[in-house]
Amino acid sequence: MSSGASADAKEIVLKAQILAGGRGKGIFSSGLKGGVHLTKDPKVVGQLAKQMIGYNLATKQTPKEGVKVNKVMVAEALDISRETYFAILMDRSCNGPVLVGSPQGGVDIEEVAASNPELIFKEQIDIIEGIKDSQAQRMAENLGFLGPLKNQAADEIKKLYNLFLKIDATQVEVNPFGETTEGQVVCFDAKINFDDNAEFRQKDIFAMDDRSENEPIENEAARYDLKYIGLDGNIACFVNGAGLAMATCDIIFLNGGKPANFLDLGGGVKEAQVYQAFKLLTADPKVEAILVNIFGGIVNCAIIANGITKACRELELKVPLVVRLEGTNVHEAQDILSSSGLPITSAVDLEDAAKKAVASVAKK
């Protein structure tokens, strides 16, 4: 249990530390309701912590059985007189960072954007010049900070931008970014996402990555630079790129099937990765068919084909395999598959691949 509460705190907050949102409305397997608790009695802190640590907390973002809580943060609770929303995001359409803010904080920002888009304010930052004082001041004013609080908020915004750059973040989201009854601007709660490509220079940050809450198969996939997300269907999706993965899952659904997962190879693919990917997919008892959908831009389709044939032989694949390849060295790849003598079904495009994968499961 980590504590940030001083001995003379008027009120104390306890927060279950799991990698999921919706903790406040969650339910513990101990029967305790709520992953966030406030108390003015220090003697109650231990009792609450005992009902949290070691028990599963189920929220809208966890599996039904919840996630085991191993840590609880204890901190001084502050009275919030007003809440706003502030974030710094890396925006491709702007080729750099963008400040995003709203005077309506403490709520789902997507809801605000849908119902009151005029309350969303943006400031595009020149990545070379950096944030300007005028931009920080304008954002603070748009968030509704007045008088001396406006300068205080602008100063916090500039510090958050410097942090964003220093830690190679892709997102720094503060919600609520608010003020206290004592007239202080405070970052009450925050979420930070980091650029995976910056791991080599952010070793201390990435060393803090807690994978204990991940599924074992996700951790195993990460060992081979593969990204795995489990779903509840029976058709395994083996793709390169998150966008292609989502499109593959969607088209399986449209053709009456259900994806069992998606496994993303990424860009720099090696035969060994393909083999390990098949090993992971075939270890899942739910998988009744595998759909390979590769668009070879920076990925060499021939490497994929060699990896597929090696995996099929060595793992003695027992489920139907449908392969759609397109892009670099695709003709060589198709020759490798067709001359392998293995029961591999080729597809001309994604629609054809999805139909064949769904049909192969229906035959069983």
pLDDT band at 362 (very low <50, low <70, confident <90, very high): confident
In the Cβ-directed half-sphere of 350, how many Cα atoms lie within 13 Å? 17
CA distance 91 to 254: 31
The percentage of the chain sitting over the pLDDT mark of 70, rounded to a whole number, equals: 97
CA distance 298 to 181: 55
pLDDT band at 259 (very low <50, low <70, confident <90, very high): very high
Active-site position among 83, 156, 173, 179:
173
CA distance 72 to 16: 5
User: What digits encode the pLDDT tens for the residues 327-354?
Assistant: 888 999 999 999 999 999 999 999 999 9
pTM of the model: 0.70
Chain position carrying tokens 């075939």: 282
User: What digits encode the pLDDT tens for the residues 229-249?
Assistant: 888 899 999 888 878 888 999
Q: Give catalytic status of residue 85 as yes or no.
A: yes
Q: What is the 3-state secondary structure (H, E, C) of the chain?
A: CEEECCCCCCCEEEEECCCCCCHHHCEECCCCECCEEEECCHHHHHHHHHCCCCCEEECCCCCCCCEECCCEEEEECCCEEEEEEEEEEEEHHHCEEEEEEECCCCCCHHHHHHHCHHHCEEEECCCCCCCCHHHHHHHHHHCCCCCHHHHHHHHHHHHHHHHHHHCCEEEEEEEEEEEECCCCEEECCEEEEECHHHHHHCHHHHCCCCCCCCCHHHHHHHHCCCEEEECCCCEEEEECCHHHHHHHHHHHHHCCCCEEEEEECCCCCCHHHHHHHHHHHHCCCCCCEEEEEEEECCCCHHHHHHHHHHHHHHHCCCCCEEEEEEECCHHHHHHHHHCCCCCEEECCCHHHHHHHHHHHHHCC
Highest mean predicted confidence (pLDDT) among 68-72, 159-163, 218-222, 295-299 = 159-163
Residue 22, pLDDT score: 83
Decide if pLDDT at 161 tops 80: yes
Q: Give catalytic status of residue 55 as yes or no.
A: no
Residue 196, pLDDT score: 85
∠ at Cα 264 (263, 269), nearest 5°? 125
- In this structure, the chain runs to a length of 364
Q: Between the CA of residue 208 and those of 3, 183, 322, what are the distances in Å?
A: 18, 34, 39
CA distance 26 to 14: 14
User: What digits encode the pLDDT tens for the residues 62-98?
Assistant: 888 899 999 999 999 999 999 999 999 999 888 899 9
Residue 7, pLDDT score: 58
CA distance 144 to 3: 32
The reply to whether omega before 176 is within 30° of 0 (cis) is: yes
pLDDT band at 358 (very low <50, low <70, confident <90, very high): very high
User: What digits encode the pLDDT tens for the residues 103-156?
Assistant: 998 778 888 988 999 999 999 999 999 999 999 999 999 999 999 999 999 999
Mean pLDDT of 31-49: 94
Chain position carrying tokens 């198969």: 217
Residue 245, pLDDT score: 86
CA-closest candidate to residue 19, choices 62, 73, 54, 75: 62
CA-closest candidate to residue 209, choices 198, 220, 194, 226: 194
In angstroms, what is the C-alpha Rg of the chain?
25
CA distance 211 to 60: 20
309 close to 342: Cβ distance less than 8 angstroms: yes
Average pLDDT, the chain: 90
Structural domains in the chain plus CATH codes: 12-76 (no CATH), 80-204 (3.30.470.20), 216-360 (3.40.50.261)
Residue 226, pLDDT score: 83
Active-site position among 85, 161, 228, 275:
85
